Structure 1
Amino acid sequence: MRPEMTDDEFDAAVEDALAQIPETLASRVDNVVIFVEDRYVPRPGEPADTVLLGLYEGIPLTERGGEPWAMPDQITLYKESILDICSTREEVIDQVTITVIHEIAHFFGIDDETLHRLGWG
């Protein structure tokens, strides 16, 4: 059965996940905004049934060259998509943590293949 979670409860799970990032890494996460939306809306050219739990949009640290025009990086978590794959509140909290770590890793330039190999896919 799909768990229910208020927006405030989900936001608290996101905050808890962010708090788990070691300070040595967290201190390097700068100019990043985090959003929570219900579901990912596929872009033109993507399959209509594309489902994402999270999305990092920006310039990873490994690719930056001092772009003065760069907008803040964005991480978006998709609440309803996460709730859909979980059956307990504990699973939601675990999945939020995995998704936050996964997207923060993209900020640091770590690709999906590496994250899946490390168990953060």
Structure 2
Amino acid sequence: MHMTDAEFESAVEEALAGVPERFRRALDNVGIAVADEPDERERASMHDPRGELLGLYEGVPITRRTTAYGGVMPDVITVFKGPHERVCRSRGEMVREIRKTVLHELGHYFGFDDDYLHARGY
């Protein structure tokens, strides 16, 4: 499945717009980025390097931020286009997978680990 860059970015924006307002209001010092492919450093973060890296959260989860948190670069959630294109067979499946990826990475921002998120379908 292939999407143009604009279609992919739009699907990521739609996924973010679908996040309940109370969670969007809690987002602080985090940026959302789109990239074609993960680089070597990003791929090294994977538990199973044989799979595809659909998204990545890099930063300090809000559950670990203390009163000393400040003056730091923003956290970044990156959603990768190429891996999504390789694992999805239709536009609808890709939109659903992008939404799932965005929610999964936001889950990390809120302090949830992979086991917790995977057990809940994210």
What is the TM-score of this pair, normalised by structure 1?
0.90
Structure 2 residue corresponding to 1:87, chosen from 76, 89, 106: 89
Which deviates more from structure 2 when the two are superposed, residues 61-70 or residues 47-56? Answer: 47-56
Structure 2 unaligned blocks of 5 or more: none
The answer for the alignment partner of 2:30 in structure 1 is: 32
SS of match in other structure, 1:27: helix
The answer for the alignment partner of 2:113 in structure 1 is: 111
The answer for the alignment partner of 2:21 in structure 1 is: 23
Structure 1 residues 86 and 45: CA distance shift in structure 2, 3 A:
closer
Residue identity matched to 2:65: R
SS of match in other structure, 1:77: strand
The answer for the alignment partner of 1:62 in structure 2 is: 63
Deviating 4+ runs (over 4 angstroms) = 47-50
Larger relative helix fraction: 2
Structure 2 residue corresponding to 1:8, chosen from 6, 9, 12: 6
Q: Distance in 2 between matches of 1:16 and 1:45?
A: 26
Q: Distance in 2 between matches of 1:48 and 1:110?
A: 21
SS of match in other structure, 1:70: coil
Is the Cα contact below 8 Å between 1:38 and 1:78 reproduced in 2? yes
The answer for the alignment partner of 1:96 in structure 2 is: 98
SS of match in other structure, 2:121: coil
Q: CA deviation at 1:71?
A: 1.1
Q: Distance in 1 between matches of 2:42 and 2:57?
A: 18
Residue identity matched to 1:98: K
Q: How large is the RMSD of aligned CA atoms in angstroms? A: 1.9
Residues matched between the structures, number: 118
Structure 1 residues 45 and 101: CA distance shift in structure 2, 3 A:
closer
